[in-house]
Structure 1
Amino acid sequence: MTKLDTALAAHSDKLSSAHAVVIGAGLGGLASAMRLGALGYRVTVIDKLDVPGGRGSCIWKDGHRFDLGPTIVTVPQIFKELWAACGRDFHKEVDLRPLDPFYEIRWPDGSKFTARQDTEAMREEVRRLSPGDVAGYDKFLRDSEERYWFGFEDLGRRSMHKLSDLIRVLPRFAMLRADRSVYAHASRRVKDERLRMALSFHPLFIGGDPFNVTSMYILVSHLEKEFGVHYAMGGVAAIAENMAKIITDQGGTLRMETEVDEILVKNGRARGVKLASGDMLTADIVVSNADAGYTYDRLLRNQPRKRWTPKKLKSRRWSMGLYVWYFGTKGTRDMWKDVGHHTILNGPRYKGLVRDIFSRGKVSDDFSLYVHRPTVTDPSAAPAGDDTFYVLSPVPHLGHSDSEKWADIERQYRVRLTKALEEQLLPGFSSRVTASEVFTPETFQDRYLSPYGSGFSIEPRILQSAWFRPHNVSEELKGLFLTGAGTHPGAGLPGVISSAEVLAQLVPDPALVRG
């Protein structure tokens, strides 16, 4: 008998309940483990980091909590439904605070756009910038709602792994002009370039180029208006910690600081994982919350693949990389009164900068920035009287032919970023910086095992979405399932949590899968 045969025999005799191994304790992996536990699986979650949450985790430095990834919660009902599936009450366990305003967008000419949930307040913002665009904005909102019901509530909450699933929805895709980009659709509704940016930038938060990503993603405007934008006190890491607790309460296990080296296969079926230590952990099903590209290219490297071959993966368009500077400032809680929780600081170019990032693979001299100041809402993110910030700049991923090494350019890039922040948003901040941490695409590649250091896995273009995206049930190997940003329905908190909902519809009954 092989080592795997021996381990499987021992596994079969050990416990009567079906065992599921989940690779990765990111939010998609945690949500999947919760769903599997609720179905009756005995679950083991494995992650190379020391805390659960993946990109949604945090680190502490000198009393500052740096929320590493997602900073807002939209569609909170998907969390409520996930908790309810486990017999729990989300709002009793997580303190979610609605934000008003959601965020402020600033342009180099000094103009601003404040996004709020109230429709009349939003119309007034549009009217202030461009009175002739109010009617077009109203049409855009109707367009957004229509795509929400089809793209999120329908397609986003069921599997799209069969070609017939795609064929059935093609007429609806055509009617909604899914071939048109987000920016192109916004341009048909409003004329002011600032408003076109304000209505089209959202795909950047899930790794997509607004000038090429399908217009289905304008549904985000409806999400914001209908359900609001929220912040979890303690950061998204607090949500992840609660998810981990539910898993252990269900009888599941989290093995942190443990890396999976390979998915084990027996008779054409996933039967567990081999750890970097050389140990084997057997299972009845395997769920990978690792990046889909990493799953197929690395974890199945010794298995033949029909669809997701190295050549196919290399040909995909990957989301951009991220340069993120986390820093704390001393004694600034009462400074910069006009800087709220979320600010988007635009550079002088929109289309040109996006082209540099996604097509040319060039680190530009200019940039647009997302600035997160959680201490406006949650003082626990910093010592008393101090502030915590996170400044994100979209940059090219590492897969472009002439990619620069961040070890060589990071210091210079931060100097330019500091100058822009000093001049346009936070005057005098640099002399007050205390704790500091920088993540580059190279960090994402090493910390999250992200192909090319991409921030959000495969880019959500139309021919890389739905059926065209890696499926939640693997077409390469029986007993293998995928969850998280790289699979259907895609990146962003609503997407990764929904991927677990889809997964739960696909896994076999635990009573029938033992053996």
Structure 2
Amino acid sequence: MTTASPSRDPSHAIVIGAGLGGLAAAMRLGAKGYRVTVLDRLDSPGGRGSAIHDGGHRFDLGPTIVTVPQLFRELWAACGRDFDADVDLRSLDPFYQIRWPDGSSFTARQDTDAMRAEVARLSPGDVKGYDKFLKDSEARYRFGFEDLGRRSMHKLLDLIAVLPKFAWLRADRSVAAHAKKRFRDPRLQMAFSFHPLFIGGDPFNVTSMYILVSHLEKEFGVHYAIGGVAAMAEAMVRVIEDQGGAVRFGAEVDEIVVTDGVVQGVRMTDGSTEDADLVVSNADAGHTYDRLLRANPRKRWTPAKLKSRRWSMGLYVWYFGTEGTAEMWPDVGHHTILNGPRYKGLVRDIFIKGQLSDDMSLYLHRPSVTDDTVAPEGGDTFYALSPVPHLGFDHAADWTAEADAYQDKVAAQLETLMPGFRDRITASHVMTPPDFRDRYLSPHGSGFSIEPRILQSAWFRPHNISEEARGLFLVGAGTHPGAGLPGVISSAEVLGKLVPDPARPMAAPVKLAAE
């Protein structure tokens, strides 16, 4: 066993990446008594939840909604702080509106009677199916989120123990297949199955466990933080610094240093080193194992294993600001989903064929209807997001050549909702899969790391405690329990249960079991 030298500080911990998962991990470690240093290559906190500014507009680059806010309140409470004193969280009603090309729409709200009325308006015969779907969703929430999602799943025996429950809940059935079983109307099948796309999953192949999102929305609501998720990240930095920790920007880790199977610290891209017996990586799990541990033999997450994984889709995101539009398009709310003419076929093009389609579905974010800090007075800030194939397919899209034409296609679809919007644009920024690859070091430019299929979830997903080196842990979208704000915050909660107090010795690396 390797022991720390007298000059080393056994209470020092390094967190690679200031995404929400990394910041939550740093808060958990600080609450345990660790002196934490967070290292991030960007110039501001939040990772995918960071923001950029242009012409008085704040463009929130990533997540736009907060669900299960008690996870954040519990995180703050573990640090002796009050979340609501640090973050201004607003409940949204309605949550979002879904629109179809035929002019029909569905408005999602928290109130059950209002939702039943919406279902009845589109398809009266599906109300009973909706009631059953809600019960299905709650059962999967109790098991999949409150149980499995908030504890480590790095032991194969833990997986074996829950297999009967997986079978009983029909985890083998996809989200889309489950929605089709409960609803006859194709529009409602889409409205209650598209949610995996928010965490990078194909609704026609992701396990039906993910219908738990419908319960999350109903039980806890959908929220927005004034100042965006970036403001939440900044609040997290303040907690870390108040704990005595440090967050350094423009600091890129090039390698995790391991000697005799034990973490020694990290080496930066400038050649300097930082010593620590505990390293937590919030970098993409693929980047952690393929790049940061490249000098260390890997037993489980080998290059071949990573290459065989299915990755989440890529994202095309157009951020734009407008002037003089605050009173225009009054029926366009905070969140709108614009469906194209196809659902299953489009999803198949994105996830299976890796083919950039001419048609698309869009998620439109208009935070300026809720947050007056996001745009100049009288103006609006938007982003339009289109799921697209990641860069790992043969004949992947050349975004240098495709970006302008694709923007024109997005604009044409938005014109049906907001006539004349292009004439009002004063600021514009576009991100495509190559930008996600380069800015976030995301393999294949994927938007949400490893896709959450059933054989890429729980024990099958990169574990929060690494098999590769003593003292190495992982948090974030690519680890257990998965992507989305609840997932990455829960990954830090799991970390807090795995990491010993600073005075206690670190456990040996996890022993592998046959897959």
**TM interval, short-chain normalised:** over 0.9
CA–CA distance in structure 2, aligned partners of residues 158 and 119 of structure 1: 30
User: How far apart are residue 13 of structure 1 and its match?
Assistant: 2.5
1:18 is the counterpart of 2:11: yes
User: How far apart are residue 420 of structure 1 and its match?
Assistant: 1.1
1:466 is the counterpart of 2:453: no
1:275-333, CA deviations, whole angstroms, 9 ceiling, x for partnerless residues? 00000001011000000000000000111111111011010000000000000011100
Q: Could you say which residue in structure 2 is the equivalent of 1:427?
A: 419
| Paired letter, 1:73 | V
CA–CA distance in structure 1, aligned partners of residues 323 and 58 of structure 2: 14
User: Is the 1:18–1:513 Cα contact (8 Å) retained in structure 2?
Assistant: no
1:191-242, CA deviations, whole angstroms, 9 ceiling, x for partnerless residues? 0000000000000000000000000000000000000000000001110000
Identity percentage of aligned residues: 74
1:447 is the counterpart of 2:439: yes
User: How far apart are residue 109 of structure 1 and its match?
Assistant: 0.2
User: Is the 2:22–2:476 Cα contact (8 Å) retained in structure 1?
Assistant: yes
CA–CA distance in structure 2, aligned partners of residues 512 and 113 of structure 1: 54
User: Is the 2:390–2:446 Cα contact (8 Å) retained in structure 1?
Assistant: yes
- Among 462, 468, 490, the alignment partner of 1:498 is 490
User: How far apart are residue 378 of structure 1 and its match?
Assistant: 0.4
SS of the residue 2:120 aligns to: helix
Structure 2 unmatched runs, 5+: 507-515
SS of the residue 1:322 aligns to: strand
| Paired letter, 1:37 | G
- Among 436, 439, 464, the alignment partner of 2:428 is 436
Q: Could you say which residue in structure 1 is the equivalent of 2:510?
A: none
Q: Could you say which residue in structure 1 is the equivalent of 2:279?
A: 286
Q: Could you say which residue in structure 2 is the equivalent of 1:348?
A: 341
- Among 8, 26, 45, the alignment partner of 1:52 is 45
1:251-295, CA deviations, whole angstroms, 9 ceiling, x for partnerless residues? 001110110000001221111000000000010110000000000
User: Is the 1:54–1:448 Cα contact (8 Å) retained in structure 2?
Assistant: yes
User: How far apart are residue 14 of structure 1 and its match?
Assistant: 6.0
User: Is the 1:284–1:513 Cα contact (8 Å) retained in structure 2?
Assistant: no
CA–CA distance in structure 1, aligned partners of residues 147 and 504 of structure 2: 29
- Among 61, 77, 82, the alignment partner of 1:84 is 77
- Among 484, 489, 502, the alignment partner of 2:476 is 484
User: How far apart are residue 443 of structure 1 and its match?
Assistant: 0.3
1:507 is the counterpart of 2:499: yes
User: How far apart are residue 513 of structure 1 and its match?
Assistant: 3.8
Q: How does 1:80-159 map to 2 (within 5 A)?
A: 80-159=73-152
1:317 is the counterpart of 2:310: yes
User: How far apart are residue 155 of structure 1 and its match?
Assistant: 0.2
| Paired letter, 2:503 | A
Q: Could you say which residue in structure 2 is the equivalent of 1:403?
A: 396
User: Is the 2:261–2:468 Cα contact (8 Å) retained in structure 1?
Assistant: no
User: Is the 2:315–2:433 Cα contact (8 Å) retained in structure 1?
Assistant: yes
| Paired letter, 2:142 | W
CA–CA distance in structure 1, aligned partners of residues 294 and 155 of structure 2: 25
CA–CA distance in structure 2, aligned partners of residues 401 and 307 of structure 1: 26
User: Is the 2:8–2:276 Cα contact (8 Å) retained in structure 1?
Assistant: no
For these two proteins, the number of residue pairs brought into alignment is 506
Q: Could you say which residue in structure 1 is the equivalent of 2:197?
A: 204
- Among 47, 50, 65, the alignment partner of 2:58 is 65
User: How far apart are residue 482 of structure 1 and its match?
Assistant: 0.3
1:42-70, CA deviations, whole angstroms, 9 ceiling, x for partnerless residues? 10000000001000111111100001100
Q: Could you say which residue in structure 2 is the equivalent of 1:377?
A: 370
| Paired letter, 2:442 | S
| Paired letter, 2:208 | S
User: How far apart are residue 165 of structure 1 and its match?
Assistant: 0.6
CA–CA distance in structure 2, aligned partners of residues 404 and 157 of structure 1: 38
CA–CA distance in structure 2, aligned partners of residues 402 and 360 of structure 1: 10
1:416 is the counterpart of 2:409: yes
CA–CA distance in structure 1, aligned partners of residues 128 and 404 of structure 2: 46
TM-score, normalised relative to structure 1: 0.97
Structure 1 stretches of 4+ moved >6 Å: none
SS of the residue 2:466 aligns to: coil
SS of the residue 1:13 aligns to: coil
1:425-452, CA deviations, whole angstroms, 9 ceiling, x for partnerless residues? 1100001111100000000000000000
1:265 is the counterpart of 2:250: no
1:217 is the counterpart of 2:238: no
Q: How does 1:1-16 map to 2 (within 5 A)?
A: 9=5, 12-13=6-7, 15=9
| Paired letter, 1:507 | V
Q: Could you say which residue in structure 1 is the equivalent of 2:467?
A: 475
Q: Could you say which residue in structure 2 is the equivalent of 1:41?
A: 34
Q: Could you say which residue in structure 2 is the equivalent of 1:228?
A: 221
